[in-house]
Structure 1
Amino acid sequence: MSIKPAAAQPANNLHRLPDQLRANLRLVFVGTAASTRSAAVGHYYAHPGNRFWRALHEAGITPRRYRPDEFAALLELGIGFTDLSKTGAGMDHEIARGSFDVAGFRAKIERHRPKTIAFTSKKAASLFYGRPTSALAFGRQPQIGSFPDVFVLPSPSGAASGHWNLRPWRELAEWIGLARPDENA
C-alpha cells in the first residue's frame, strides 16, 4: 500500500498547526499531522468526533474539559503540542511520507527537553521508532538513553473508534502526576 499526497495539504504553511513548545514541559502530545478540520481552523484535535479533549479530562490530565480553540492555554499546565508532519493535513494515509520529519521532531524535543512525550497514535509512534504499528504496545515505552519518557496512546480520532481505550491515557496521567486524587479507576 502506497501513501499518496494529501489533497487537503496546503500549498503554503498558513494552515499548519503551530508548535506549542517551551523548555521543561511536563508533557508534549505528538500526532502524525493535522487533520483537515484542524488545519482549517488552526486548532489541535478540532474535529467534533475526536475524543482528545474529552480523554484529557476523563483521564485526569486536565482539571476540566478544554475546547480545541483553547489548546494554547495548556502551556500553563505544562502541556505542549507538535506533529511529525508540520506541512501535511488529512488522514494518516493521505499524508505524503516525505512530509514526516522525525529528525526535526527529535531536535525539537532535545532542544525543549520535556519530561514526557505521548504519541497520540501507534502510527505516529511507528514513524518515530521506524517499526510497524503491530510491533508497538500502548503505554510507557522502554527508555531511550537520555530521551524523555515516551508513551503510546490509542488514537482519539473517530476514525480509530475500534481501537479506543482510555486506560493508557489514565496510566499517562498517573505517570506525570496529574491524576486527580479522587480518581481511582
Structure 2
Amino acid sequence: MDRGGDVKQTPAGLSDVLGLGLSVVFCGLNPALSAVRDGHNFSSPSNRFWRVLHLSGFTSRLLRADEEQELLQYGCGITAAVSRATKSASELRLDDYKKAAPLLEAKITKFAPANLAFLGKAAFAAITARADCDWGRQSELFAGANTWVLPNPSGLNRAFGLERLTAHYRDLRAETQPRVG
C-alpha cells in the first residue's frame, strides 16, 4: 500500500480477523477505501463499529481499529461480504454480492463461527435472495452459522443514531455470549 495517497489493494483485499469457532463474526458489506488505505477494518473516524461493540458489551474497553486482532480475545471476528473496496457501499451491485457469496461461504465453513452478523441488509438480502428481512436473528443458517442482520455502523448510515444502533448489537450480544467486564 502506498502511504502517499494512492490506494493499492492487495489481491486478497483488507485482512479478515478470523479464528476457529468464534461466537460472532461481523460481516461488513465491503471495506471502505479509508480502511484499505489504513490497513485496518472500520478505521474511518466516522465509523461507529468499535464504539458500538464496546457500548453493547462485546468488548470490555473501546478498541481502536489498529487493535482489531484483539477482537479475537472476545470471541469475535470480522470479514466482508465483498472484498472490493469502495467509497460507499452504494457502489456495489447485486451481482457483486452473488459473485462473492461462494468465498464468504467457504470462509464461514472453514472457521465455523456460531453466528454470522451481516452489517446491513444488502449483503444478506442478495446472498439469500430474500427481498426483505427484519433486523435481528434470521431463520436461516449460512454455512452452518446462525445469521443476524444488524444496522451498518457506517457514519453514512444516518437512519440509526448511536443509541438505536447499540440496542441492535446489544440484542445479538445478549443471545450469544455473557456480558464482558
Q: Please tell me the TM-score bracket, short chain as reference.
A: 0.7 to 0.9
Instruction: Answer yes or no: is 1:154 the counterpart of 2:139.
Output: no
Amino acid at match of 1:68: A
Aligned residue pairs total 171
Moved more, 83-92 or 13-22: 13-22
**By how many angstroms is 1:173 displaced?**
0.9
**Structure (1 or 2) with the greater strand fraction:** 2
1:59–1:173 contact (8 Å) kept in structure 2? yes
Amino acid at match of 1:90: K
Q: Could you say which residue in structure 1 is the equivalent of 2:63?
A: 66
Instruction: Answer yes or no: is 1:39 the counterpart of 2:36.
Output: yes
CA distance in 2, matches of 1:109, 1:148: 7
CA distance in 1, matches of 2:126, 2:143: 20
Flag structure 2 segments of 5+ consecutive residues without an equivalent: 1-5
| Identity level (%) | 29
Instruction: Answer yes or no: is 1:104 the counterpart of 2:98.
Output: no
Q: Scaled by the length of structure 1, what TM-score is found? A: 0.82
Amino acid at match of 1:147: G
Q: Could you say which residue in structure 1 is the equivalent of 2:168?
A: 168
After superposition, residues 112-127 of structure 1 pair within 5 angstroms as 112-127=111-126
**By how many angstroms is 1:37 displaced?**
1.0
2:53–2:169 contact (8 Å) kept in structure 1? yes
2:115–2:146 contact (8 Å) kept in structure 1? yes
Q: Could you say which residue in structure 2 is the equivalent of 1:54?
A: 51
Amino acid at match of 1:128: I
Q: Could you say which residue in structure 2 is the equivalent of 1:6?
A: none
CA distance in 2, matches of 1:76, 1:19: 15
Instruction: Answer yes or no: is 1:179 the counterpart of 2:179.
Output: yes
SS at match of 1:141: strand
SS at match of 2:147: strand
**By how many angstroms is 1:32 displaced?**
1.1
Flag structure 1 segments of 5+ consecutive residues without an equivalent: 1-8
**By how many angstroms is 1:95 displaced?**
3.2
Call closer, same or farther: CA 1:23–1:50 in 2, change over 3 Å.
Answer: same
CA distance in 2, matches of 1:122, 1:146: 18
SS at match of 2:140: coil
Amino acid at match of 1:126: A
CA distance in 2, matches of 1:89, 1:75: 26
Amino acid at match of 2:18: L
**By how many angstroms is 1:108 displaced?**
1.0
**By how many angstroms is 1:45 displaced?**
0.8
CA distance in 2, matches of 1:12, 1:64: 30
2:105–2:142 contact (8 Å) kept in structure 1? no
CA distance in 2, matches of 1:98, 1:41: 27
Q: Could you say which residue in structure 2 is the equivalent of 1:25?
A: 22
Amino acid at match of 1:47: S
Q: Could you say which residue in structure 2 is the equivalent of 1:90?
A: 87
Amino acid at match of 2:173: A
